[in-house]
Structure 1
């Protein structure tokens, strides 16, 4: 039985609220803490289902991980190459990031692991990561189409490789770099377009030898040297810019709003949405800039703004791939047409996000065009009708995006399978309602 939520039009949003810790960094903190020598202490870890699955899997691989009452996580690692064969399935739930990165981690350990996940994750392609890892010596046994459930037979004699990513993917890059930790020599990943670099930054923070060099074609070559001695660290996880995107856009759309979101990560490879919103006319400012665990952070101050449609450069997609659903909502209120291109990757996320956004926006009265790798939203400079029940297909970002739309639409918007939100943003409803939103349950259950 799926949980249904509705969101209705509200007065100005106001106040300050900290969104949960960065999901990408939280996954990596658990994995690298499990490989480090000594104790790591991590504050601000995202405690959504995706990250908790990674924590459970790292325990199954031999790491000692505990959460203390003060909310800080303590990890005692096994050292590079020290993970042990899990006694049971590694169930990644809905987490594509956790699954792909963890495959890289175990691929160069000499034991067999079995991966599974929920129905959504089992439908997602894994060949993009299994094929380069197979070049390093690992073997994979998968369902048709390279999908989960699958078995990883790790190699006892891994081979370093130099691999050029066919498409921009921080997940594939990170999987190969993690595999390279337990591989002799140097493992290099070449990317034509820069993707989020949390893995490189965190590897350095733990003591690994990582080089990043520009290529002649304008891309980047990232090289990790095998068998480093990683040392336990203590750090705070920045607030997640992808999660901050939802209250940010809500405050832009609801007239008279002004909110502050403290401690948000502003890594330039993650802030394409904020650059785009500014180009659309958003009053969005970074205040109190500082560094946190090697990552730049700032407090975001957001004021309600009149937005205009723009053409979003396709090359910006890697820096905002998870934020297109909420950008499409912002575009539906803007004056004029917003064209978003280079979005083929959205077809293979938790759902086909391109199709889901096009269907949902149309149901809310927005004029929208869907192309193979593009979404074109024709805004009219006023609130869309709303008045729709959106099928989220258990996609947390689709769910949150349409709840935001409902806050400023003419009529309320409802979403099904609202429990999906907890995979990345536990406490989303309470946080938004604390700022002035009106999100609540409809019927106790929905079909």
Structure 2
């Protein structure tokens, strides 16, 4: 079943070139953080270009439940009247974060140092995901949690009555964990320090600074050391959300594998901690160019042009690049399947605890489509079959995972036979306009799970 209703089976099939402009939605990571930090500021934060997918809508509902006034004005324009750091009210009902691991973990961090209780749940996929990686460091502040076995949802978090600052080394690269600790540190006295051995996406640090928090980030022998001074008064902001590079990955990669394609994707955020996929694609030989580079809202952006690239070759993707493209490995594995030679993706064990076990989901689906795969706990190897070389013809399980669904639908556009997914419903959580956007470019999708 989909996370928000009955399954929506869908099939994609080979068609003509993909051409035109793809206006992808706003960045999901920045959208979540805009709402949460807006709720923790004093005054009105104005947001344009907010991603209106279900994940972000669920975060908006949660901020209302904690006492902030969150208003939708239409066309991606929103406003948030915040309650200030430490000003959250105790929710009257359970906080349902749907499919969003980012939403639930960041919200837990934001409330963990206020003396209130909140119970969190989510859809079937989110209830399987580990929360201990967040509740463990939050316990250092003085928060306590009570959940299902393994720290899974539903889970009640009891905020710290007298929070203390912490010094925490993130055990695995995770922007969600780092961000949860920093948000918790806002309402703790003194300095909260987060150390990450491998740098992860830094939207939280950039946005905290924009809202007026005192924060430093420096490299050391231990890794990146981020120091936050607690109990600031956050100033409301006007935020223009860049468009999401993780969403842009799908029309970009589809254009690279569908013969004759030429697609422009404007206004894409190119934060260095998020742009690993585009670096990797160019190393493989992709015809991918960055036009009109500029800066908007403290984030680097550019227009991406992607053209069919029939000479792409497999490479070994450096493991230290994983944090900057962790969400993009599913669609990269599709590109790899239609390239020459093998593509080796190491350092990707984080994929096993995403919305699904993404290594297993992509491996099984690609194998069903005729692609040779090797894998272990931390590695995925795809043996490419060249342009047009993937037989296809399979019905692939999505496991309630939006990125798995979109990846296999893109594969069907360049396979010899159609490719189906058992449920395209979860796509609405992150990319609600995926189907009409891709169809406008020339993609052929049908709401049926049986390949013709």
Is contact 1:394–1:420 with CA below 8 Å preserved after alignment? yes
Counterpart position of 2:3: none
Report how far residue 359 of structure 1 moved.
0.2
Q: How does 1:45-60 map to 2 (within 5 A)?
A: 45-60=50-65
Is 1:411 paired with 2:417? yes
Trace 1:99-110 onto structure 2 (pairs within 5 A).
99-110=104-115
Question: Partner residue of 2:146?
Answer: 141
| Alignment gaps of 5+ in structure 2 | 1-5
**Alignment match of 1:353 (pick from 355, 358, 364):** 358
C-alpha displacement of 1:382: 3.0
* TM-score (structure 1 length as normaliser): 0.98
Indicate the residue corresponding to 1:297 in structure 2. Answer: 301
**Partner of 1:40 in structure 2?**
45
Equivalent pair of 1:332/1:378 in contact (CA under 8 Å) = yes
Cα RMSD of the aligned pairs, angstroms, is 1.2
TM-superposed CA distance for 1:423, in Å, is: 0.6
2:265 matched to 1:288? no
Paired position in structure 2 for 1:371? 376
CA distance in 1, matches of 2:67, 2:129: 27
Over residues 299-350 of structure 1, what are the superposed CA-to-partner deviations in whole Å (9 max), with x where a residue is unaligned? Answer: 1011111210000111110000000000000000010010001111111111
Pick aligned residue for 2:225 from 214, 221, 228: 221
Structure 2 residue matching 1:369: 3-state secondary structure: strand
Number of matched pairs:
444
Task: Find the aligned partners of 1:178 and 1:150 in 2 and give their Cα distance.
Answer: 19
Match of 1:30 among 32, 35, 54: 35
Matched with 1:426 is 432
CA drift of 1:380 comes to 2.3
SS of the equivalent of 1:401 reads helix
1:17 to 15, 18, 22: 22
User: Which of 87, 94, 97 in structure 2 is aligned with 1:92?
Assistant: 97
Deviation of 1:424 (Å): 0.4
Offset at residue 273 of structure 1 (A): 0.5
Normalized against structure 2, the TM-score is what? 0.97
- Secondary structure, in 3 states, of the residue corresponding to 1:149? strand
Corresponding residue of 1:76:
81
Please point out which of 158, 165, 170 is paired with 1:165: 170
Decide whether the 8 Å contact of 2:46 with 2:80 is kept in 1: yes
Task: Provide the C-alpha distance between the structure 2 equivalents of 1:173 and 1:71, rounded to a whole number of angstroms.
Answer: 27
Give the equivalent residue in structure 2 for 1:334.
Answer: 339
One of 240, 243, 246 as aligned partner of 1:239: 243
Large movers: runs of 4+ above 4 Å: none
C-alpha distance in 2, partners of 1:35/1:405?
42
Q: Which digits, 9 at most, give the CA deviation of each residue in 1:101-142, with x for residues without a partner? A: 111111000011111111111111011111111011001111
- Quick one: distance in 2 between partners of 1:322 and 1:80? 31
267, 273, 278: which one pairs with 2:277?
A: 273
Which residue does the alignment assign to 2:348? 343
Relative to 1, partners in 2 of residues 1:236 and 1:162: Cα closer, same or farther, differing over 3 Å?
same
1:69 deviates by 3.1
Cα shift at 1:215: 1.1
CA contact (8 A) 1:113 1:151 kept: yes
Q: Does 1:312 align with 2:312?
A: no
- Offset of residue 197 of structure 1: 0.2
CA contact (8 A) 1:235 1:292 kept: no
- SS of 1:385's equivalent? coil
Tell me the alpha carbon deviations over residues 61-81 of structure 1, each in whole angstroms, 9 at most, x when there is no partner: 000011113431011101111
Q: Tell me how far apart the structure 2 counterparts of residues 29 and 261 of structure 1 sit (CA, whole Å).
A: 23
